[in-house]
């Protein structure tokens, strides 16, 4: 089992920290690279669309949705 790692980042001009397991950090890097953008830009977009979830949960759900779409071939 992977341990959570805390990363500090800046979103909309304020500093925050997010704790995720290593496989989620890796997946976010892969998703950002596949979309031709930085991981920071991807996280800012996810943050802007989250609906009541904390940021860590929103990031995990984004990764899950991404790989579900890939598995479904869409």
- CA atoms of 17 and 55, how far apart (whole Å): 9
What residue ranges do the domains of the chain occupy? Answer: 4-72
- Least confident segment among 11-20, 22-31, 56-65: 11-20
pLDDT at 60 > cutoff 80: yes
Tell me the pTM.
Answer: 0.89
Query: pLDDT tier at 65 (50, 70, 90 boundaries)?
Result: very high
pLDDT in tens, 33-55: 999 999 999 999 999 999 888 99
- CA atoms of 7 and 43, how far apart (whole Å): 12
- CATH 3.40.47.40 describes domain 4-72: no
- CA atoms of 68 and 74, how far apart (whole Å): 9
Q: Distances from the Cα of 56 to the Cαs of 10, 71, 72, 73, 74, in angstroms?
A: 14, 23, 25, 26, 25
């Amino acid at each position: 089992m992977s341990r959570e790692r805390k990363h500090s980042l800046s979103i909309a001009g304020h500093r925050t920290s997010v704790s995720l397991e290593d496989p989620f950090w890796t997946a976010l890097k892969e998703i950002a690279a596949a979309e031709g953008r930085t991981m920071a830009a991807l996280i800012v977009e996810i943050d802007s669309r989250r609906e009541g979830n904390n940021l860590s949960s929103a990031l995990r759900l984004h990764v899950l949705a991404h790989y579900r779409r890939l598995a479904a071939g869409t």
